[in-house]
Each structure stands twice: as structure tokens, then as C-alpha cells.
């Protein structure tokens, strides 16, 4: 295994841009726009280099690098806090029950309520893996490395964590939810709105979106059908989130209607089960087709953070680790690592 997760830097822009062009639209955290991606990398650099343990408006961008070729083949992001510099809107699905004595009937209506309930939470997002690498557990490596970073820098993240999944996009590149709700108030197609969002952010949606509750029964059938459903490419990501303890609690994205998953940060499975150990030996007997327990292993603070798969063996005073992983992470005996079993 020659793949490692590391902090992104400005030199990764072209790789990230090429991946962003493959997303197919609607991927708000990874827009195919060089200026927007450059701003993300600059903000990420500020987050990695900021001193202090306080909760701030940080963004951390990571990449998956094949060290054998130097190619970047995946990426992911963590936002330390959402809604710190402006409202963070979601739709929350609620219900209104009304009863008529004269008719002897009770009516229950499902409603979309504009909400800022999720403000102040941390967010994991922006995960993309090159189609040519979607095997060997690399998607899991990218996703779970974020939780080890959070564990190792826990003071920089909130007590609640969210993940927004892209909603359903049709074959023509449109969004049935957008067409049924927001598109009626903006006079632009989903594709136009997506392009505008890539360049300027989605605050314009929140600013112009009607603040009144929206009765779901009044929407088109196509819009109703996709509420809370992930894009077909996001189904695996949703399963991974559920395995980590995330749950859908009736929050959806105001842009495309995709589900917003939530969890208490300390209850994320990878965070709960991760351990911190000292490396007491680097042992050539450990590795693939040899002995040892396969784990996700992380080392380093902030910009020096690296994560990769490796094999460990528990020993007195710590763990032994296989040489290939030690080389990927720059480890020597006495180093401290955070590790969690692969599952």
C-alpha cells in the first residue's frame, strides 16, 4: 500500500480541480472552479497553521496521494464550525396536525421548515475518490482519516458533527428538488445556480429563499420523491456514515434536498474506538500476507498529519508496526500514533 492521506497544499490545485470536474455538478464543497478551489486551499492553510486551541472558523482540506507515482487520487474536507460567519440554513421536515370536529377528521401535513438548528456544528464533507481507485478500501481510508484528525485535535471541533450528502441529480443534470422549491423563486436553472454557487457560495439561496414553511403536499411529485435521498454516487458514503453512528434526523439541504446526517462528535465510532500508542518496534514480520492486525494509523499534528493503512502487533509498552507504513508516516521507534481497527 503506497497511499497516504496528508494535508493539501497549493501545489495540489490542478489535481483537485481535475477531480472536481468529475463530480457531475451539485457537489457544493468541491466546485469545478479554480478561483473557488484556490480560496479553499488558502483557507485550509490558515486553519492548519493557526495557533491556539479555540474553536474557530477553520477549514481543513486533505488529499489522498499515491506516493509511488506522486499522483493525488482523492480528497476530503473538515469544517471546524458551520454558521460562524453567517446563517447555516437547512430544511427540517416537520408535521402539522389539524382536526375538524364537523368533519370528524384529522389531517396531518408534512412541512419543510427553514432552520438554523445545525449552526455551530462541525462538518465532514468534500469527499471524492478518483473512479480508478474505488477498490481496496481507499474510500474508507479517506473518510475515516478525518475522524482520527478530529480525535487528535479534539479541542478544535464542536460537540456535534454533520455531513451533507448531495441530493438526486437527474440525467440532464437538473435537480427535481431545486425545480420544485427554490427554482421557483430564483429564475435560474439548477445548472446555473450550481455554477453561481461554485463562484460565490450558497448564501444567495439562503437570502432569497422564502422563510415561510413549505407544505410538501404542494410540491411536484418529482420534488417530493427525492426529499432526503442521496445521489446514487452517495449511497456508499451514506452507509459509511451510518456505520460511524451518523443518523438522518429529518434535515435536508436547501439546495438539492439531499440528507444531512448528524451525530455527537464523541460518539463517532472511529473516534470512540481509536487508541493512542507508542511505537516500540518496526518489525518486518508484520504486513500484508504476513502477521499483524490491519489498522488505520495516523501521526502528526495539523499540517504534518498523515494517515495510512498499516499492520500492528500489540507489545509491552505500545505497538510494533510494519516498515512500509512507518515509512509512509515518517515514523521511528518512540513515535506516538493514533490507530483504529479496519472494519
List the catalytic residues: 231
Give the separation between CA 307 and CA 134, rounded to whole angstroms: 18
Residue 330 burial (CB count, 10 A): 12
**Angle between helices 138-152 and 235-244 in degrees, nearest 10:** 40
- Name the H helices within the chain: 13-20, 34-49, 138-152, 176-180, 183-186, 190-200, 203-208, 221-226, 235-244, 269-273, 323-329
- Name the H helices within 220-340: 221-226, 235-244, 269-273, 323-329
Give the separation between CA 60 and CA 8, rounded to whole angstroms: 8
Amino acid at each position: 500500500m503506497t497511499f497516504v492521506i496528508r494535508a493539501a497544499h497549493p501545489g495540489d490545485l490542478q489535481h483537485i480541480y481535475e477531480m472536481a470536474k468529475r463530480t457531475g455538478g451539485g457537489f457544493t464543497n468541491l466546485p469545478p472552479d479554480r478561483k473557488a478551489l484556490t480560496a479553499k486551499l488558502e483557507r485550509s492553510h490558515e486553519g492548519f497553521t493557526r495557533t491556539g486551541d479555540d474553536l474557530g472558523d477553520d477549514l481543513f482540506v486533505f488529499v489522498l496521494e499515491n506516493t509511488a507515482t506522486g499522483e493525488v487520487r482523492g480528497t476530503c474536507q473538515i469544517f471546524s464550525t458551520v454558521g460562524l460567519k453567517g446563517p447555516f440554513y437547512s430544511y427540517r421536515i416537520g408535521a402539522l396536525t389539524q382536526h375538524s370536529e364537523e368533519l370528524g377528521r384529522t389531517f396531518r401535513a408534512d412541512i419543510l421548515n427553514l432552520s438554523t438548528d445545525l449552526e455551530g456544528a462541525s462538518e465532514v464533507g468534500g469527499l471524492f475518490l478518483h473512479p480508478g481507485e474505488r477498490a481496496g478500501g481507499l474510500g474508507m481510508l479517506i473518510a475515516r482519516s478525518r475522524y482520527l484528525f478530529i480525535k487528535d485535535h479534539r479541542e478544535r471541533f464542536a460537540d456535534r458533527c454533520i455531513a451533507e450528502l448531495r441530493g438526486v441529480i437527474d440525467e440532464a443534470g437538473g435537480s427535481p428538488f431545486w425545480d420544485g422549491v427554490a427554482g421557483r423563486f430564483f429564475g435560474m436553472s439548477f445548472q446555473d445556480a450550481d455554477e453561481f454557487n461554485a463562484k460565490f457560495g450558497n448564501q444567495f439561496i439562503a437570502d432569497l429563499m422564502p422563510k415561510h414553511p413549505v407544505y410538501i403536499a404542494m410540491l411536484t411529485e418529482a420534488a417530493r420523491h427525492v426529499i432526503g435521498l442521496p445521489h446514487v454516487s452517495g449511497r456508499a458514503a451514506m452507509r459509511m456514515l451510518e456505520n460511524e453512528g451518523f443518523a438522518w434526523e429529518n434535515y435536508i439541504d436547501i439546495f438539492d434536498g439531499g440528507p444531512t446526517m448528524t451525530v455527537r462528535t464523541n460518539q463517532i465510532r472511529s473516534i470512540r474506538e481509536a487508541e493512542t500508542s507508542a511505537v516500540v518496534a518496526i518489525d518486518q514480520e508484520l504486513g500484508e500476507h504476513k502477521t499483524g492486525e490491519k489498522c488505520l494509523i495516523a501521526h502528526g499534528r495539523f499540517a504534518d498529519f498523515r494517515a495510512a493503512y498499516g499492520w500492528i502487533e500489540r507489545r509491552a509498552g505500545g505497538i510494533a508496526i510494519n516498515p512500509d507504513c512507518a515509512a509512509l508516516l515518517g515514523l521511528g521507534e518512540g513515535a506516538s500514533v493514533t490507530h483504529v481497527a479496519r472494519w
